[in-house]
């Protein structure tokens, strides 16, 4: 059998226009394949270029003693060349160390820096026990907490003068009450009402919140050293998420507006005796989009807040609760998640 190939058969079947159309289509397909291959080569080259970035050397382990105060603690998760979740601290000189025995951020571990920058409080990764490290003296103290509390659910924070540490559990154990630890004397006070600490003043007055009416309302009360105050008022439940809403003198509670039913671009204050709103200010930030969260009282008139700019960039600002004057806080370049940045009273601000 002889097979005859008729090279003109496409023209005979499709006609010249059809043949030309098919030829053009085939040419377009081939051209697209060539362009795709070129684009792939180009993208591959870019990928290789990016992947050749030199990794930063790992930070040394935090020593027992430091000769300078801590400025920040943060978790550099996502930074190239660093282990995700390992807590780092930065001193006032800019030197940086890794806190490798702390429960990592990725395991919901937390770190608290005393405002004077001398102490760190955190949960040990191996034993899940809460400790306070005095970096000036080189000592470590264990904070007694209920055995039912797991490491990831402990929440804690220092008073502004670094004298007191408030500790509670986000796990909602009804039988476990929050505690107030005296850093100076090591005495522990088990608070008379269950649940959550919302702040502690410099004299040790601790404000505690508790759910009522099947969690429909939340009531705050003040616990003074040696006695329970009759001060009680209703607050929004979200204030129970932080240990730092109380001003150093114990007169005010601060909050960010969106969570308290007022515009999200405002910072508000409550009277700590009545719970009534006594002030609202809009921070003097030109490109402010919204306030993400309240962080803590920096001094008797300024608070630290986490904001989002119109360019969707997270930043930290110091804001005067009376005037709205704002100062941007300088942070480590690799502090990507501002929710995991803990600062002391030694922060640097932009000029």
- Tell which wins on pLDDT, 172 or 176: 176
Res. 277: pLDDT tops 80: yes
Q: Which of 50-54, 92-96, 104-108, 214-218 has the lowest mean pLDDT?
A: 50-54
Q: What is the mean pLDDT of residues 66-72?
A: 92
Q: What is the mean pLDDT of residues 29-44?
A: 43
Does residue 254 contact residue 275 with C-beta atoms inside 8 Å? no
pLDDT of residue 214: 54
- Strand (E) or helix (H) holding 34: helix 9-51
Would you give the DSSP letter of residue 325? -
**Sorting pLDDT into bands at 50, 70 and 90, what band is 190?**
confident
**Sorting pLDDT into bands at 50, 70 and 90, what band is 220?**
confident
Quote the CA–CA distance of 330 and 14 in Å, as a whole number.
72
Res. 288: pLDDT tops 60: yes
Q: What is the share, in percent, of the chain residues with pLDDT greater than 70?
A: 68
Helix (H, G, I), strand (E, B) or coil at 31: helix
Quote the CA–CA distance of 347 and 173 in Å, as a whole number.
36
pLDDT of residue 101: 95
The reply to whether the predicted model has a pTM over 0.85 is: no
Q: What is the mean pLDDT of residues 306-326?
A: 89
Phi and psi of 314, rounded to 5°?
-80, 135
Q: What is the share, in percent, of the chain residues with pLDDT greater than 90?
A: 30
């Amino acid at each position: 059998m002889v097979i005859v190939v008729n090279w003109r058969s496409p023209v005979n079947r499709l006609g010249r226009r059809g043949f030309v159309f098919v030829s053009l289509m085939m040419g377009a397909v081939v051209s697209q394949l060539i362009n795709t291959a070129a684009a792939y080569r180009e993208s591959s080259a870019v990928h290789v270029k990016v992947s050749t970035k030199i990794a930063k050397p790992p930070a040394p382990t935090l020593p027992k003693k430091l000769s300078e105060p801590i400025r920040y603690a943060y978790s550099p998760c996502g930074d190239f060349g660093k282990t995700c979740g390992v807590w780092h601290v930065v001193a006032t000189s800019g030197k940086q160390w890794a806190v490798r025995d702390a429960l990592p951020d990725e395991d919901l571990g937390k770190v608290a820096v005393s405002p004077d920058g001398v102490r760190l409080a955190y949960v040990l990764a191996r034993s899940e026990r809460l400790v306070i490290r005095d970096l000036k003296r080189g000592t470590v103290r264990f904070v007694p907490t209920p055995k039912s509390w797991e490491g990831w659910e402990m929440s804690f924070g220092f008073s502004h003068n670094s004298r007191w540490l408030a500790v509670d559990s986000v796990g909602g154990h009804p039988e476990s009450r929050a505690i107030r630890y005296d850093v100076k004397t090591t005495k522990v006070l088990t608070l008379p009402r269950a649940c959550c600490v919302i702040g502690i003043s410099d004299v040790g007055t601790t404000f505690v919140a508790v759910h009522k009416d099947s969690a429909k309302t939340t009531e705050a009360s003040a616990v003074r050293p040696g006695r329970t105050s009759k001060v009680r008022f209703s607050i929004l439940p979200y204030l129970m998420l932080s240990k730092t809403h109380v001003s150093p003198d114990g007169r005010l509670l601060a909050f960010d507006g969106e969570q308290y039913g007022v515009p999200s671009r405002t910072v508000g204050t409550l009277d700590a005796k009545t719970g009534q709103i006594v002030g609202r200010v809009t921070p003097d930030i030109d490109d402010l989009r919204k306030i993400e969260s309240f962080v803590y009282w920096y001094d008797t008139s300024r608070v630290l807040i986490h904001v989002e700019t119109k360019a969707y960039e997270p930043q930290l600002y110091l804001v005067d609760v009376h005037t709205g004057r704002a100062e941007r806080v300088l942070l480590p370049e690799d502090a990507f998640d501002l929710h995991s940045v803990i600062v002391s009273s030694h922060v640097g601000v932009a000029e």
